[in-house]
Amino acid sequence: MKINGPNQTNWNPYQKQINQQKQIKQNPNQDKLEISQQAKSMQEAEKVSPAREKRIEELKAQVDNGTYKPDPSATAKKMVNFFQQVETKE
């Protein structure tokens, strides 16, 4: 014969931990991805305009045909201007 005391309850010391695990399972955090405005503008800048694509195709065709003749002085002037602008920004 089993005799239980008057205030004896079903007490489980691990019940709190079990309840916490149930709450975690019920409310899982979802991952979120946010792209900054700067990153969006960088993605837009990477896109090549149709006019530029056309120019690139023309240059490729000229190189393939052997008719491409670059102007060295114009290239040098543009390089100098570019590096002068870079130095003034720093």
Give tens-digit pLDDT for 19-77. Answer: 777 776 666 667 788 999 999 998 888 888 889 999 999 999 999 999 999 999 999 99
Q: 3-state SS of the chain: helix, strand, coil percent to 5?
A: 60, 0, 40
Whether the Cβ atoms of residue 68 and residue 62 lie closer than 8 Å to each other: yes
Domain count, the chain: 1
Identify whether 20 is part of a domain.
yes
Identify whether 19 is part of a domain.
yes
The whole domain housing 29 covers 13-88
Q: Would you say residue 80 has pLDDT above 90?
A: yes
Identify whether 1 is part of a domain.
no
Identify whether 8 is part of a domain.
no
Instruction: Read off the tokens for 23.
Output: 């709450």
**Does pTM top 0.85 for this prediction?**
no
Instruction: Report pLDDT digits (tens) over 6-35.
Output: 666 666 667 777 777 777 666 666 778 899
**What pLDDT is stored for residue 54 in this prediction?**
95
